[in-house]
Amino acid sequence: MILIRLIVGPLQVNCFILADEKTREAIVIDPGEDAEDVLRIIREKGLKIKYIVNTHGHFDHIGANKAIKDATGAELLIHEEDAPVLATASRQSTAFGLNPVSSPRADRFVKHGDVITAGEVSLTVLHTPGHSPGGISLLEQGMVFTGDALFAGSIGRSDLPGGDLITLLNAIKTNLLTLPDDTRVFPGHGPASTIGDERRDNPFLNQESGFE
Binding positions for Zn ion, rule: CB under 5 A: 58, 60, 148, 188
Residue 137, amino acid: S
Chain position whose Cβ is nearest to Zn ion? 58
CB count in 10 Å sphere of residue 139: 20
CB closer to Zn ion out of 25 and 148: 148
Question: What is the nearest approach in angstroms of Zn ion to the Cβ of residue 49?
Answer: 21
User: Which burial class, exposed, middle or buried, applies to 142 when counting CB atoms under 10 A from its CB (0-12, 13-18, 19+)?
Assistant: exposed
CB closer to Zn ion out of 58 and 79: 58
CB closer to Zn ion out of 3 and 7: 7
Question: What is the nearest approach in angstroms of Zn ion to the Cβ of residue 24?
Answer: 29
CB closer to Zn ion out of 33 and 60: 60
C-alpha 66, offset from chain centre: 17
CB closer to Zn ion out of 115 and 160: 160
Distance CA 83, CA 135 (A): 10
Instruction: Please name the residues in contact with 198: beta carbons below 8 A apart, sequence gap of 6 or more.
Output: 150, 152, 153, 176, 177, 185, 205
Residue 200 host element (H or E): helix 195-201
Q: With beta carbons less than 8 A apart as the criterion, state whether 30 and 61 touch.
A: yes
Residue length, the chain?
Answer: 212
